[in-house]
Amino acid sequence: MTTLSIGNAVPDFTAASTGDKTVKLSDYRGQFVLLYFYPKDNTPGCTTEGQSFRDHIAEFSALNTVILGVSRDSIKMHENFKCKQEFPFDLLSDNEEQLCQLFDVIKMKSMYGKQVRGIERSTFLIDPQGILVHEWRKVSVKNHTQEVLQILNTLMD
């Protein structure tokens, strides 16, 4: 599978989503799509990241941007996480790692001294025509939402 790069069209993908939906990228044509990959529901960094996007949802909406979170967790786990954190956006389940592979976010990570395969926290911004316009890899949660909003604001000028 080819790796995506800035300026390339993102293939139309389909994924299981919270709210008992199946989401297609093409459903969001005409809007920016912020696709953020995170390692695991209900963990401290992932919770903080999701809360930050949640707390700035009005700003994202004003910038014509829909947010979608992605991890390998099940829809049931996503539903609990979304409900508990009151996320106003959907979470996609990628337990077969199709999106993870498309966006090349599965990496070897060190956890408790062991090497494990996991999602490298990453965010991708797709424009209203379906073109990848920005990516953040090895995301640090602190200030990440502000960085994303800053880029969106420059794209709107």
Residues labelled as active-site residues:
46
The DSSP annotation for 92-145 comes to EE-TT-HHHHHTT-EEEEEETTEEEEEEPPEEEEE-TTSBEEEEE-S--STTHH
| C-alpha 134: how far from chain center | 12
Can you tell me the distance from the alpha carbon of 91 to that of 20, in angstroms, rounded to the nearest whole number?
11
